Amino acid sequence: DTGVSQDPRHKITKRGQNVTFRCDPISEHNRLYWYRQTLGQGPEFLTYFQNEAQLEKSRLLSDRFSAERPKGSFSTLEIQRTEQGDSAMYLCASSLAVGSDGYTFGSGTRLTVV
């Protein structure tokens, strides 16, 4: 296992288009998190899964955003009708337990909305 994988690494899309990102967590980690990071800021929490259940969503996760984790393995984050303000780095992380050592982050997907 090489860590948390995210795909694609970069995505450029036109305003109004839909985009989908994928995250493959560390295989034994049952907890998965999505964060968003803009330039010069720290990551901001979006949502949390325990196995396949989405247990927490931030107010940042508007109705244009949807996340899934079918079968408790990989996860997808979809943004519908993208806006320029959605441009950011989208980070996925996984862990064995909440608050445990070593939330492991992926390298992120850089989204640019033009």
Partner 1 sequence: EDQVTQSPEALRLQEGESSSLNCSYTVSGLRGLFWYRQDPGKGPEFLFTLYSAGEEKEKERLKATLTKKESFLHITAPKPEDSATYLCAVFYGGATNKLIFGTGTLLAVQP
| Contacting positions for partner 1 (CB under 8 A) | 4, 6, 31, 33, 40-45, 48, 55-56, 58, 91, 93, 98-108, 110
Nearer to partner 1, 3 or 16 (CB): 3
Nearer to partner 1, 76 or 104 (CB): 104
Nearest distance from residue 103's CB to partner 1, in Å? Answer: 6
The DSSP result for 18-81, as a single string, is -EEEEEE--TT--EEEEEEE-TTS--EEEEEEETTEEEEE-TTS-TTEEEE-GGGS-EEEEESS
CB of 63 to partner 1, least distance (A): 20
Least gap, CB of 90 to partner 1 (angstroms): 10
In the complex with partner 1, which residue's Cβ is closer, 82 or 94? Answer: 94
**CB–CB of 4/25 below 8 Å?**
yes
* C-alpha closest to that of 90 among 68, 61, 110: 110
